[in-house]
A and B are shown apart, each in its own frame.
Chain A
Amino acid sequence: MTFGGLVARTILSKKARSAGLVAAVAIAVLTVVTLAVTSSGLESSAAQIISVGKADFTVVQKGVSDTLSSTIDEQEVARIEATPGVASTVGVLVATERINADNPVFIEIGIPPSKLAAFGVTILRGTAFAPDATNQVMLGWRAAANLNLKVGDKFKANGAVNTVTGIYSTGNAFGDAAAMFPLPAVQGYNRVPGIVTLVFVKVAPGASSATVAARVDHDMPELTTIRTASQFGRADRNLIYLKAAVNGSTVLAVLIGAVIVGNTMLLSLFERTREFGLLRAVGWTRRRTVGMLVGESLILGFVGAVVGVGLSFLVTAVIERLPALRGILHAQYSASAFWRALLTALAMILIGSAYPVARAALLSPLEALSHE
């Protein structure tokens, strides 16, 4: 029999204990991975908004809890446009509205029709809305498909029954699942005249977007520029809080799991004290005896990690279908989520097994053999 075979046989012979340890690790891994995957998905969904406009960078109000809460005065938009190196800007107001149970957080974008091309909008069918219209809308092709609407149909949103004048594409899933209205109409319905949420900036040919963005950051300290999705995560305080909560929950899950692992291993140690004494008596070194205990835990931890990841797929699928998150959360299983699962399991095992392993190492063969 190999040493691995001996370890495996022990695991299989102590089914209840093994199952308990696997369950503890699996639940912790499930928690950690699900939180990581969903928060990453939410961040990714939220960050998609900055890539709708095909801009070199996006400007938002600094320090907002939620990017959609950003308020930028149209005069500031003009100042941004006047910044050296800026070729053009598009200021848009982004709002959300509940359309129906299937679309609880529908995105509405207010934009001047003259800026549609600059914003990267291609009209697939119909025409653009009039600049000052109060009851006209263009639907992204995904939204039109989801809502089963076509050009000429009526669409109740933004406080009016709107006529669908056109179907557009932006090449961006987030933008294509939204609706676009004349900017004044969205400003009026949301009672924020002269305000936009985001400003999409294109730099002049030959200019460095990083340099121009830095200039905007410097000249308008109340605003902040975003050039990448990761920068978006740093600018949105809700996402910062979400990440902090995920990290905190991870630590908590690891600690709780480690306590359960430690408790299970300690029980196992008490139960098998005579066995350890016997092994020491027949010549096993402390290292080998402890190695068997740690080996068992590592195998069970790995199995727990695999089970936990599997369960996280199921739980995340359920969360994605929750009415409040439908269409918003698209879970993203990155390699880092799996590494996080393995590290979680490893941390739980190492922390949880530290004390039982130390006890096992310090057992004298004679005391262990005398254990009742």
Chain B
Amino acid sequence: MSDTARTSTSDPAGVPALDPTSGAPSVVLEEVTRVYPGKVVALAGVTLTIEPGTFVAVTGPSGCGKTTLLHLVAGIDTPTTGRVLVGGTDLATLHDPSRYRRDQVGLVFQLHQLLPRLSARANVELPMFGTGRSSGERRHRADELLALVDLAGREDRLPVQLSGGERQRVAIARALANSPHLLLADEPTGSLDSVATNRVLDMFREVQQHGATVIMVTHEHDVAARSDRVVEMCDGRVVGETAV
């Protein structure tokens, strides 16, 4: 990956890139439960502290609550009880959670979740709407990020014209659009071959090295082993932690 966009504190359009000195947030979950309608318990009292600027993998079997945990930290779900604090701020007190998601969080979904009618560039531009950037600045930033994930020259392709690995890289570029301090990835390598998986994990490591906190949900132990710390979950609880 080229570091041209990441090692500077601002890109040519004046948009701040990830800054190692800007301070990645800590993520703290305090006795968090999440019970869905039908009394389905997804999280049953999770307490967890993730240090700023670390690359953490959350692993465990299907249905153990990994994705729910990620959604709570992303601010797209709220705990039934307990608190989720990011950078010391209780997400439940946020006046505008969408702004938190836009400015602080980069989300990578398992199935990339690209809009099929939009080009790779346009998909990457989506989180930048409402940030005050002009359309030219958004385009420039998207092209820069696509180059960063080795997709230069494929900016105008629709998702259907890209391979699975390329789509996931577009999704990563989209997640990095607003230089998030918190990168959250849900099974990002689930549909990728080993080469593409290594490529994605290398990118996450670089993002972390440039000052972001990275939380990756995966059920693959060899993928989890590429992180700094593995948090193991089972039946909605944290059942073990391993420093890698």
Contact = CB atoms under 8 A, between A and B. Distances in A.
A280 B76 contact: yes
Contacts of A278: 113, 115, 126
A9 B101 CA distance: 25
A282 B127 contact: yes
Given A274-B113, A278-B113, A283 B99 contact: yes
A9 B122 contact: yes
B62 interface: no
A275 B178 CA distance: 19
B139 A1 contact: yes
Contacts of B103: 283
A2 B137 CA distance: 11
A365 interface: yes
B118 A282 contact: no
Contact of B122 (A6, A288, A366): A6
Given A279-B126, A282-B126, A288-B130, A10 B76 contact: no
Interface residues of B, number: 29
Nearest to A285: B98
Contacts of B130: 283-285, 288
B187 interface: no
Contacts of B109: 369
Nearest to B134: A2
Contacts of B121: 1
Contacts of A13: 117
A40 to B, nearest CB: 43
Contacts of B139: 1
Nearest to A279: B126
A286 B130 CA distance: 12
A1 B135 contact: yes
Given A282-B107, A365-B76, A9 B118 contact: yes
Given A6-B122, A366-B71, A366-B77, A283 B101 contact: yes
A281 interface: yes
Contacts of A274: 113
A3 interface: yes
Contacts of B113: 274, 278, 369
Interface in B73-97: 74, 76-77, 96
Contact of A281 (B107, B115, B117, B129): B107
Contact of B98 (A5, A10, A286, A369): A286
Contacts of B101: 280-283
A281 B77 CA distance: 10
B42 to A, nearest CB: 11
Given A279-B126, A282-B101, A283-B178, A2 B135 contact: yes
A282 B122 CA distance: 13
A283 B98 contact: yes
A282 B174 contact: yes
Given A2-B135, A3-B129, A366-B71, A284 B98 contact: yes
Contacts of A369: 76, 109, 113
Contacts of B138: 1
Contacts of A366: 71, 76-77
B140 to A, nearest CB: 12
Nearest to A14: B117
A284 B178 CA distance: 13
B74, B98, B138, B139, most chain A CB atoms within 10 A: B98
Given A274-B113, A369-B113, A281 B96 contact: no
A9 B123 CA distance: 12
B125 interface: yes
B102 interface: yes
A3 B126 CA distance: 10
B96 A285 contact: yes
Contacts of B115: 275, 278
Contacts of A279: 126
Contacts of A365: 76
Nearest to A274: B113
A352 B169 CA distance: 39
Interface in A1-40: 1-3, 5-6, 9-10, 13
Contact of B74 (A281, A284, A286, A288): A281
B76, B101, B102, B135, most chain A CB atoms within 10 A: B76
Contacts of A285: 96, 98-99, 130
Interface string A90-133: 00000000000000000000000000000000000000000000
A181 B74 CA distance: 90
Nearest to B138: A1
Given A13-B117, A275-B115, A281-B107, A1 B76 contact: no
A9, A10, A279, A282, most chain B CB atoms within 10 A: A282
B105 to A, nearest CB: 8
A278 B110 CA distance: 13
A274 B178 CA distance: 22
Contacts of B102: 282-284
A283 B98 CA distance: 5
Contact of A1 (B99, B105, B107, B122): B122
Interface of B: 71, 74, 76-77, 96, 98-99, 101-103, 105, 107, 109, 113, 115, 117-118, 121-122, 125-127, 129-130, 135, 138-139, 174, 178
Given A280-B98, A283-B103, 6 more contacts: A1-B135, A6-B122, A9-B118, A278-B126, A280-B76, A281-B107
8 contacts: A9-B117, A278-B126, A279-B126, A281-B74, A282-B101, A283-B178, A285-B130, A365-B76
8 A-B pairs with the lowest CB-CB distances in the bound complex, closest first: A283-B102, A13-B117, A282-B127, A365-B76, A283-B101, A2-B135, A285-B98, A366-B77
